[in-house]
Amino acid sequence: MTVKVHVKNNRWAAGSFPNTPEGEAVFTITQDRIDSALADFPDLAGKMDFRIDWDTDNFETSMGDTDVLLTWNLPTKGLGAIAPKLRWVHCIGAGVEHLLPLDWLPKGVTLTNSKGIHAAKAGEFGLMAVLMLHSHMPKIITNQRKVIYDSLYASPIAGKTLVVLGTGSLGGAGAKKVQALGVHVIGVNRSGRAVDGCDEVVTTAELDKVLPRADYLLIATPDTPETRGLMDRRRLDLMKPSAGLINIGREAVMDYDALCDKLEEGSLAGAILDVFDPEPIEADSRLWATPNLIITPHVSADDGDAYVPMTLGLFFLNMREFLKGKPLLNPIQPDLGY
């Protein structure tokens, strides 16, 4: 059996993905990259026929006999008729909010994502960001812009409390790194299940109880109907004025206007934001001028050198399961959106 795989790469375009010209090289899947990754999977040699395409240049003609689609996004209208043989769609990212709702997914087709491959990088970024907040770096950088030399001291971080909203691979990795410094870590997830790196875990319904305890809040949730607007103005007001927060999940989870208000009035100490909508941030966005805010350009979890190799490594692990007719890793639940 030869599995026909259509690879849909995206050219950079304003307001699209990749969101910068530099990103196009990072996220593009080429035949050379496929061949390099396949070296670790000799058992799959000769079992796949790859068709590498850009945007929708040859989408409809190629998808007619395609078994598997490897992509970030796709035209979903009438997919069942366009791709009658399709059985599996793999999204090269961890978030699939851009594909919601999943009512377009044909019956019998499994959607998977790349959850987990970004954990190491995200954990390091989370640790860095928490330490930056603890050392007052957002305020120090704001002072630098204003030509203010003000000594802002910090003690060792042990004994502080970090709340991690979303304890999946990204949040969980950050929790482990920060806990190792003696920080008390409270995880918040949908089920309340225990998580490595968390000293205690509560359900999302109990979020209001733990926010006042947070010295730092790390948000790492996907954008789903349940998480959209979760950190609204009311919940931001529950945090103590000395607290800082980090968002490496999605902008839709938080009210950024309310956050800017609180940073401007000094009722939150600082913030580090890595995710935005749209991306890049518009030139006239108030985010650029908000004090005590550090903006990073959606780089918290993406490895510029290894993104495609890691994606293909996971894809080929799943291809083994696909060829055996077994359940795939990282299936997306259409009713939950993750």
CATH, residue 89: 3.40.50.720
Whether 105 is in a domain gets the answer yes
Q: Where are the alpha helices (DSSP H) in 182-306?
A: 207-210, 233-236, 256-265
Query: Are residues 110 and 148 located together in one domain of the fold?
Result: no
Mark whether 282 and 137 lie in a shared domain: yes
Predicted confidence band of residue 1 (pLDDT cuts 50, 70, 90): confident
Whether 75 and 9 map to the same domain: the answer is yes
Average per-residue pLDDT in the chain? 96
Quick one: pLDDT at residue 263? 98
**235-259 average pLDDT score:** 98
Q: In the chain, what percentage of residues exceed pLDDT 70?
A: 100
Tell me, yes or no, whether 148 and 276 share the same domain: yes
98-102, 127-131, 235-239: which range is least confident on average? 98-102
Q: Is 329 contained in some domain?
A: no
- Report the relative pairing of strands 48-54 and 88-91 from DSSP bridges: unpaired
Task: Count other C-beta atoms under 10 Å from residue 315's C-beta.
Answer: 26
Nearest to residue 5, comparing CAs of 74, 62, 54? 62
Residue 23 located in a structural domain: yes
- At residue 338, does pLDDT exceed 90? no
Domain assignment present for residue 309? The answer is: yes
Provide the residue range defining the domain that includes 139: 119-295
Q: Give the model's pLDDT for residue 14.
A: 81
Name the band, by pLDDT with cuts 50, 70 and 90, for residue 336: confident
Q: Are residues 125 and 104 in the same domain?
A: no
What pLDDT does residue 117 have?
A: 94
- Helix-helix angle 137-145:119-134, to 10 degrees: 70
What is the widest separation between alpha-carbon atoms in the chain?
A: 68
Would you say 97 and 224 are in contact if contact means Cβ atoms under 8 Å apart? yes
Q: Is the pLDDT of residue 265 over 80?
A: yes
What's the confidence (pLDDT) of residue 326? 97
Q: What pLDDT does 142 receive? A: 98
Under 8 Å between Cβ of 265 and 236: no
pTM of the model: 0.92
- Are 111 and 7 part of one and the same domain? yes
**Alpha helices for the chain (secondary structure H):** 21-27, 31-38, 59-63, 79-82, 119-134, 137-145, 169-179, 207-210, 233-236, 256-265, 307-324
| Residue 273 backbone phi and psi in degrees, to 5 | -115, 135
Average pLDDT, stretch 186-208? 97
Residues 182 and 220 in one domain: yes
In a domain, 218, yes or no: yes
Q: Are residues 62 and 161 in the same domain?
A: no
Average pLDDT over residues 31-51: 97
Tell whether the model's pLDDT for residue 15 goes beyond 80: no
User: Are 174 and 158 found together in one domain?
Assistant: yes
The three-state secondary structure class of 266 is coil
Distances (CA, A) of 313 to 41, 175, 309: 9, 25, 6
Residue 337 lies in a domain: no
Predicted pLDDT of residue 241: 98
Residue 21 lies in a domain: yes
Same domain, 85 and 179: no
Task: Tell me the three state secondary structure of residue 324.
Answer: helix
Q: What is the Cα–Cα distance from 228 to 87, expressed in whole angstroms?
A: 30
Rounded mean pLDDT of 62-74? 97
Q: In this structure, are 67 and 213 located in the same domain?
A: no
The pLDDT tens digits for 294-328 are: 999 999 998 888 999 999 999 999 999 999 999 99
The pLDDT of residue 281 is above 90:
yes
Q: Count of domains in the chain?
A: 2
To which H or E segment does residue 294 belong? strand 293-295
Q: Using pLDDT thresholds of 50, 70 and 90, give the confidence band for residue 102.
A: very high
**Would you say residue 331 lies in a domain?**
no
Residues 175 and 290 in one domain: yes
Say what the pLDDT of residue 280 is: 92
